[in-house]
Amino acid sequence: MSEFEFDKEEFKKNVVNAVKSRYRKTIDEADKQQVFQAVAYTVKDYIIDRWIATHKEFEKQDAKTVYYMSMEFLMGRALGNNMINLTCYKGVKEALDELGFDLNAIEDEEPDAALGNGGLGRLAACFLDSLSSLGYPAYGCGIRYRYGMFAQKIVDGYQKEIPDDWLRDGNPFEIKRPEYAVTVKFGGYVRSYTDADYHEHYVQEAYQSVRAVPYDLPVVGYNNNVVNTLRIWDAEPIQQFNLDEFDKGDYQKAVEQENLAKNICEVLYPCDDHYAGKELRLKQQYFFVSASVQSAVAKYKKNHDDIRKLHEKVCFQLNDTHPTVTVAELMRILMDEKGLSWDEAWGVTTKCCAYTNHTIMAEALEKWPIDLFQKLLPRIYQIIEEINRRFVNEVKRMYPDNQEKIAKMAILYDGQVKMANLAIVAGYSVNGVAALHTEILEKQELKDFYEMMPEKFNNKTNGITQRRFLLHGNPLLADWVTDKIGDGWITDLPKISGLVKYADDEKSRKEFMQIKRENKVRLAKYIKEHNDVEVNPDSIFDVQVKRLHEYKRQLLNILHVMYLYNKIKANPDMDFTPRTFIFGAKAAAGYRRAKLTIKLINSVSDVINNDKSINGKLKVVFIENYRVSNAEIIFAAADVSEQISTASKEASGTGNMKFMLNGAMTLGTMDGANVEIVKEVGEENAVIFGLSADEVIEYELNGGYNPLDIYNSDEEIRRVLNQLVDGTYSPADHELFRDLYNALLYDGVADRYFILKDFRSYAEAQEKIEAKYRDKDGWAKSVMLNTARSGKFSSDRTIEEYVRDIWHLEKVKVEL
């Protein structure tokens, strides 16, 4: 592939001109935000030609396209990634240097596109990067939230949520496409009638509607001229309120429609792994699904006559159950608008839709109250009723007189619409996101479905893009890797195994660890600037960054820090390798216990960081506002990757893979993709602890265990727990952390995430980490092998598997 020929002088000229025409300023008068905008628009010009060429090629080849349907795309910043994938990053860096600007500082002017919560949203973003880089035709379909994931401020140790006004200065990369706007209808009722040919018709009446307007964002492939599209929808009122011809009814309706439009895309729900049942969320779901399906069908119809063959050119991948109304919306369009019979429409729909499950946590399963659902989406509900009626009949045929099966598998049951059941029944593929997760789905959570339709089930272990999380996030290591083995790893990560042999080479180990140290210095500087805490780059950087959730057990981590602190205080001369415990996590705004855990981490941090008597041996840092852009810096600097979820609870995890790629050692449970990571890297190059998934599930079936036994018999653990309620970390209010104490000892199901049960095993694992770290050569070798054996965890591999088993797409070549 020919590298993009970057003309530095031309680029400089374009940036200077962009500043002039946008801001009436010379380049030396422009501020950094203005330079960012000018650079972004200049880069966008390179992208546009490729974007146009890509779509020409798609049309020419009449290529099958995947529509990745997702409520969330956690894209992070675009400029750096776009330059990386255009292969002009270094060129632009030089050009800006010559203009007197530092590219890093210019990149920092861009707000993260934080249209997602965590793993699920970031996975969607990695998948888009891989789809483009591999040359597969794809659309990401989502919502253009006016406010993305809130920005987190820590005030007095507490999380405070600040609205994320990410569009304030405009988004240079987006293109509004009003010519592709469609109408989406809510509410009213369905009128049915039979025509002269005895055909039944269904018409939604007395509805409210909004205009769905798409904004397209380019998804640039790596060095291949391919640019796919992330299409995010905004809602506008359908008709501006018209003074001439209103009566009271119209007026009311006009105002209602205006409000409906204003609300739908206002904000991303900041809840992950928890189902809230809010009507507005269902509106968001149907809004973007209806708009996306309509536009996919319209695009297909432009070049094809036979809608019965839609599945040959179109596939909808449902990112969790959030977009599951896709199946009913497609049925509606095929029957009500294209005139297909039920059986014809069902035949097409069940060849077009595939579903990915991301959790087994019961509280995350989406179940809508029937009355709410029916009122908001009357026609869609009718269709689901019919899908359910037919499916229940089938279950009855296969399992006569088995009410239990129906209770578990019916789509409509107990006054609820069960979205996972709908997705499984109507989809042709159901996949989990790591081997262990898929196994648990098949054997436990979705057992009945698996027994009835085993051919639908498959595993697709998650992956991450090495282009953002190594090439962009860790340039020192990326250059070093390329130096050693060439740049093939950028598009073929398994090639990184070429590094294995260097793990035995002393000079290479030194270089590798020197790079790690420089990355730690970079993070230390970030922490100094943002937290005003000094951390020692020669200490072990032990990192847990991810959403705050009880099952992820940040509480286990911080309790262990309290335990270590007690030990050091009791034995001031004890041999101890200095440690910096780094946390980063947002809690859902309404998740009280998670927010209290953040307060605890910050309180422990206050006490420990200010205790001169321990000579800086221990530091605790809570990094404010963890997000994609600072994640890149954090992964690069980590020594230890904390992946300590209660076994069976973390479907996959993807942070675990980013740490591994950047040369950190996993300290984890046998959960999610940790299992596969350990298998790749070898048990001797990771530290594993805790209950297995089977053990956890066994305890759960028996109503849990008794943590008081541990509390009563283990003095050190008891001391740590008592410190939650004796004012050690909350002198002004001894009761502050009572809820955490109670959760561990006295809740209905006490310690439901097995924190005390796993505590000793975790503490021992931490001792192993320290022992390994002291063996400098051994450590260097191990973490190098982590990088070298991360090949499996590229999202390129994951996407190739989706293509092979589910989507069946063809690669497209784009020449300029």
Residues of the shown chain interacting with ligand BZD in the complex, contacts defined by CB under 6 A = 117-120, 123, 271-273, 358-359, 364, 433, 462, 650-654, 672
84 in Cβ contact with 6 (< 8 Å):
no
Q: How far is the CB of 359 from ligand BZD (least distance, A)?
A: 6
Element holding 335 (H helix, E strand): none
| Of 587 and 721, CB closest to ligand BZD | 587
| Of 318 and 477, CB closest to ligand BZD | 318
* CA angle, residues 269, 673, 119, in degrees to nearest 5: 15
Q: Integer distance in angstroms from the first to the last C-alpha of the chain?
A: 12
Nearest in space to 520 (alpha carbons), one of 506, 530, 535: 535
196 CB neighbour count, 10 Å cutoff: 5
Catalytic residue among 64, 211, 586, 658: 658
Q: What share of the chain is helix, strand, coil (3-state, %, to 5)?
A: 55, 15, 30
Biggest alpha carbon distance in the chain?
94
Catalytic residue among 580, 654, 666, 798: 654
| Of 174 and 273, CB closest to ligand BZD | 273
Buried b (16+ CB within 10 A) or exposed e, 101-115: bebeebbebbbbbbb
Q: How far is the CB of 363 from ligand BZD (least distance, A)?
A: 10
Catalytic residue among 12, 552, 579, 781: 552
Q: How far is the CB of 697 from ligand BZD (least distance, A)?
A: 17
| Of 82 and 645, CB closest to ligand BZD | 645
Report which residue type is found at 381: Y
93 is annotated as an active-site residue: no
* Residues in the chain, overall count: 816
Nearest in space to 137 (alpha carbons), one of 65, 199, 75, 201: 65
71 in Cβ contact with 284 (< 8 Å):
yes
Q: Which residue has the tokens 């270089």?
A: 511
Q: How far is the CB of 457 from ligand BZD (least distance, A)?
A: 16
Q: How far is the CB of 661 from ligand BZD (least distance, A)?
A: 15
Report which residue type is found at 157: G
Distances (CA, A) of 406 to 291, 299, 327, 449, 462: 33, 39, 21, 11, 32
Q: How far is the CB of 385 from ligand BZD (least distance, A)?
A: 25
3-state secondary structure 365-411: CCEEEHHHHHHHCHHHHHHHHHHHHHHHHHHHHHCCCCHHHHHHHCC
654 is annotated as an active-site residue: yes
Q: How far is the CB of 73 from ligand BZD (least distance, A)?
A: 12
Catalytic residue among 311, 358, 549, 599: 358
Q: How far is the CB of 221 from ligand BZD (least distance, A)?
A: 22
| Of 520 and 546, CB closest to ligand BZD | 546
| Of 272 and 639, CB closest to ligand BZD | 272
Nearest in space to 624 (alpha carbons), one of 612, 634, 616: 634
According to DSSP, the β-strands at 65-69 and 314-319 are parallel
Distances (CA, A) of 363 to 367, 368, 382, 423: 10, 13, 27, 18
List beta partners, residue 459.
Answer: 432
Tell me the residue ranges of DSSP E strands in 468-578: 540-545
Q: How far is the CB of 256 from ligand BZD (least distance, A)?
A: 28
Report which residue type is found at 473: G
Nearest in space to 665 (alpha carbons), one of 786, 788, 556, 552: 786
Gap between the Cα atoms of 117 and 234, Å rounded:
19
| Of 642 and 650, CB closest to ligand BZD | 650
552 is annotated as an active-site residue: yes
Catalytic residue among 546, 586, 617, 752: 546
| Of 50 and 437, CB closest to ligand BZD | 437
Alpha helices in 399-463 (DSSP H): 403-409, 419-426, 435-440, 447-452
Tokens of 635: 């992964």
Catalytic residue among 231, 547, 579, 619: 547
133 in Cβ contact with 93 (< 8 Å):
no
| Of 359 and 787, CB closest to ligand BZD | 359
Q: How far is the CB of 72 from ligand BZD (least distance, A)?
A: 6
| Of 107 and 320, CB closest to ligand BZD | 320
Tokens of 379: 């026609």
Chain residue whose CB lies nearest ligand BZD: 119
| Of 233 and 512, CB closest to ligand BZD | 233
Report which residue type is found at 573: D
560 is annotated as an active-site residue: no
Report which residue type is found at 644: I
338 in Cβ contact with 315 (< 8 Å):
no
Q: How far is the CB of 790 from ligand BZD (least distance, A)?
A: 16
Q: Which residue has the tokens 């979205």?
A: 419
Gap between the Cα atoms of 22 and 44, Å rounded:
15
| Residue positions annotated with a catalytic role | 358, 546-547, 552, 654, 658
